[in-house]
Amino acid sequence: MNNFIFSYPTKVYFGRGCVREYLACLTRPYQTVMLAYGGGSVRKNGVYDEAAGILAAEGKTVVDFPGIMPNPTYRKVQEGAKLAREAGVDFILAVGGGSTIDCCKIVAAQAVQDADIWTMEMEKRDLPDHFLPMGAIVTVSGTGSEMNSGAVITHEEKKIKGGLMGAHSEFAMLDPAYTMSVPFRQVISGAFDTLSHAMETYFGKPQENNLSDDIGEAVMRSVIANMRALLADHESYNARSELMWASAMAENGILKIGKVTDFQCHQMEHQLGAYTDCNHGAGLAVLHPALYRRIYREGLPKFKRFAMAVWGIDPAGKSDEETAAAGVEALADFIREMGLPTSFHEMGIDAGTDFEAIANSTNITAGCCKKLTHEEILAIFNECR
Ligand code: NZQ
Ligand code: ZN
């Protein structure tokens, strides 16, 4: 087993009513709270009023930071950091999904840092070590962003959607009832993102049997079963709860213990996002089958195991290659069954998009069973058009 260090700084409050029960006490040490959110869903579904009402009743000064867009931009991070400094914010409360939480993680770093955080992290390879404290109320699940300190931010001028390290949330509140207003399509694309996190960890190195992969298989089976349950009953609280916890489980580091993760598909999707501002889970759904059809022969034992343990493929009468290929096709069938897109065209991505530039700017990861070239990445993008 590879060496590892594991520690977990975020305290999780899960379940119906958790915000009402715990928010006041968790924010007690702070006075000026930045309430950060997206394009307005939380204003419509009452979550904003609930959180703001609790803070006001506790005598907090609430500083609103609205308008964090899906695929948050670096410009938005700078706007938030400036606001936090000017208003003397001493705590950031992110209320939303991966986009809002990611943006806040980097606001928390930039607000207490004179150096430009992008230059510091991406060019000087220097990581921030002090932050404004923050917490997260999750309103849409999938990314598991509330469980780690990584943030995916789009630098529009540089045309890079890249990972930065920011603050860990001190606490994460996950009330599945808050996700009931999330449109079905977004729930499904978020859940596919969770499945992708589990797959991209599972296919990372090493390939020998290990506990992390056993847990990963359980997470994948659960996500698939609960996506199917939700397809049958869009309002199922139980399925939405299970998906919310699976989302957290896939990104809290437990599945990654002792592993070098793959995340090649994520690197490709992130660059696609930098150029097209597309939906993250939908982009992954289009790319995964094309990527795996290209690489499964290089990781045959693991792809065979995936086929059998996750998709229930019977290996009897099949060669290892046939079993592994059947697992990849089961994944592709599942994507269709869920009504997820299967091409960039279906996602509404312009045919004139510069896929060569996207491919050439995609990071190549260390964990993948086959080290891709930029030409192969371009070929995959072209297959997905
Ligand atoms: O902006 P509002 O109006 O709030 O609407 C949002 C948004 O349009 C809506 N929404 C959120 N809660 C809702 C709701 N609508 C109705 N009812 C509610 N309760 O949902 C839409 C999507 O929200 P967003 O936060 O963008 O989605 P998601 O959580 O999928 O986050 C995507 C971002 O996270 C990054 C992605 O790349 C993308 O930028 N990721 C972050 C990761 C991390 N930090 O660990 C890992 C992931 O791999 C991913 O890359
Ligand atoms: Zn993801």
**CB of 243 within 8 A of CB of 187?**
yes
Domain that holds residue 25: 11-178
Report the sign of the C-alpha dihedral through residues 269, 272, 277, 283, in that order. negative
Residue 367 has a pLDDT of: 76
Residue of 186, 249, 279, 363 best suited for mutating to test ligand 1, as the one with most atoms within 8 Å of CB: 186
Count of C-beta atoms within a 10 Å radius of residue 216: 28
CATH number assigned to the domain comprising residue 95: 3.40.50.1970
Residue 205 has a pLDDT of: 93
CATH number assigned to the domain comprising residue 326: 1.20.1090.10
Residues with CB under 6 A from ligand 1: 38-42, 45, 70-71, 96-100, 102, 139-140, 142-145, 148, 150-152, 178-179, 181-182, 186, 190, 193, 251, 266, 280
Residue 366 has a pLDDT of: 83
**Around ion ligand 2, which residues have CB less than 5 A away?**
193
Distance (Å) from CA 140 to ligand 1 centroid:
6
Q: Is the pTM of this model over 0.85?
A: yes
Residue 374: both structure tokens together: 């930029």
Q: Relative to the CA of 266, which ligand 1 atom is closest?
A: 48
Last residue of a domain, one of 159, 178, 197: 178
Residue 87 has a pLDDT of: 98
Same domain? For 219 and 364 the reply is yes
Same domain? For 166 and 223 the reply is no
Same domain? For 15 and 56 the reply is yes
Write the CA distances from 16 to 21, 174, 212, integer angstroms. 10, 8, 29
The owner of tokens 């260390």 is 366
Last residue of a domain, one of 125, 153, 178: 178
Q: What is the mean pLDDT of each run of 10 residues along the chain (385 residues)?
A: 90 98 98 98 98 98 98 98 98 98 98 98 96 98 98 98 98 98 97 98 94 98 98 97 98 96 97 98 98 97 98 98 98 98 98 97 90 97 98
Element (H, E) at 212: helix 211-232
Report the sign of the C-alpha dihedral through residues 8, 51, 247, 292, in that order. negative
Residue 232 has a pLDDT of: 98
Last residue of a domain, one of 178, 201, 231: 178
Domain count, the chain: 2
Same domain? For 276 and 357 the reply is yes
The owner of tokens 């199917």 is 228
* Residue 2 belongs to some domain of the structure: no
**Collapsing DSSP states into helix, strand and coil, what is residue 215?**
helix
Distance (Å) from CA 251 to ligand 1 centroid:
15
Residue 368 has a pLDDT of: 81
Element (H, E) at 12: strand 11-14
